[in-house]
Amino acid sequence: MTTKTSDTGRTSKASKAAGNEAGKASRADAFRPLLVDVAVPIGSYYLLKDAFGASTFAALAWSSLVPAVRTGWSAVREGRTNSLAALILVVNVVSLVLGFVSGDPRLMLAKDSGVSSVIGIGILVSVALGRPMMTAAVKPFVVKGDAVREAAWQRLASGAAAGSAVFRRKERLFSLVWGVALLGECVARVVGAYTVPVDTMVWLGSVIMAGVMAVTFVVSGRLAARPMECLLAAELERAGLEHAGLESAEPKARRAVPEAAFAA
């Protein structure tokens, strides 16, 4: 009896450990697109420019390599375009083109806002097309690398769940908030570039960008991300109740069948 109990305990611990490892792996899978499509290009740009002393043009060109490969690979292998990788590639190309603009210091300050405008327009277009781009950013935080939560997300996103309509509206709203915020930041920085003294705008531009990002995180979280989490939790509870109902119904159905049927 003691041996059986200890074996059961070891099995339980092994299952828990396996579950933890699977959770870590799924979390890594969930965040990998963000790391590859966003963090790597941006990080490599600053690494090449600041640490290795590369020119702005060279840093932008080399940091475009990963999103370019990702975009081409998705188009060839999966028959679709990787939206995040494509957007980062477009942003880098626009920055390369604008990099040739020189001379007027106010124009140089204004062109920095071009990145925000390209991203904002790209996000708004994706909402209009019904494929909100910022879903890739919010999903890892809602799903948390859990396979059960991932399945619930898919049911809500595909229209198979009771709260699908509201969930998809919130999904679009999350991207809409970010698209509008980035366009607003672009407008504010362009206006500042031509109305505020250049020396002031050099540091004020970064303050505007950081402030817009912080406010947008809060607003998009309250208006969209948090309601999406609540809808996902409700879907998990509904699915759990259905599963429990099926399990309890099975022995009842078995008792209702005559013993002779099982004997046959």
DSSP-derived secondary structure for the chain:
-HHHHHHHHHHHHHHHHHHHHHHHHHHHHHHHHHIIIIIHHHHHHHIIIIIS---HHHHHHHHTHHHHHHHHHIIIIISS--HHHHHHHHHHHHHHHHTT--S-HHHHHHHTTHHHHHHHHHHHHHHHTT--TTHHHHHHHHHTT-HHHHHHHHHHHHT-STTHHHHHHHHHHHHHHHHHHHHHHHHHHHHHHHHS-HHHHHHHHHHHHHHHHHHHHHHHIIIIIHHHHHHHHHHHHHHHHHHHHHHHHHHHHHHHS-HHHHH-
State the pLDDT at residue 226.
Answer: 95
Q: Interhelix angle for 56-63 vs 83-98, to 10°? A: 160
State the pLDDT at residue 264.
Answer: 43
CB half-sphere exposure, 146, CA atoms < 13 A: 11
> How many other β-carbons are positioned within 10 Å of the β-carbon of residue 167?
25
| pLDDT tens over the chain, length 264 residues | 545 445 444 544 444 444 445 445 445 554 565 566 666 777 787 788 778 888 766 776 787 777 677 667 766 776 665 566 666 666 667 666 666 655 567 776 777 677 778 889 989 999 999 989 899 889 988 998 889 999 999 999 999 888 899 999 999 999 999 999 999 999 998 899 889 887 788 788 878 888 898 999 999 999 999 999 999 999 999 887 666 655 554 554 444 444 443 344
30: Cβ contacts below 8 Å, ≥ 6 apart: 139, 140, 143, 144, 145, 150
**Residue among 100, 34, 38, 98 nearest 63 (CA):** 38
Q: How far, in whole angstroms, is CA 249 from its chain's centroid? A: 40
Is the CA virtual torsion 221, 222, 227, 233 positive or negative?
Answer: positive
Q: Interhelix angle for 147-158 vs 135-143, to 10°? A: 140
State the pLDDT at residue 262.
Answer: 38
* pTM score of the predicted model: 0.65
**Model confidence over 222-235: pLDDT tens digits?**
999 999 999 999 99
**Residue among 161, 95, 170 nearest 138 (CA):** 170
State the pLDDT at residue 149.
Answer: 92
State the pLDDT at residue 32.
Answer: 60
State the pLDDT at residue 239.
Answer: 82
State the pLDDT at residue 219.
Answer: 96
State the pLDDT at residue 254.
Answer: 47
**Residue among 232, 20, 225, 33 nearest 141 (CA):** 225
Q: How far, in whole angstroms, is CA 22 from its chain's centroid? A: 20
Q: How far, in whole angstroms, is CA 122 from its chain's centroid? A: 15
State the pLDDT at residue 145.
Answer: 84
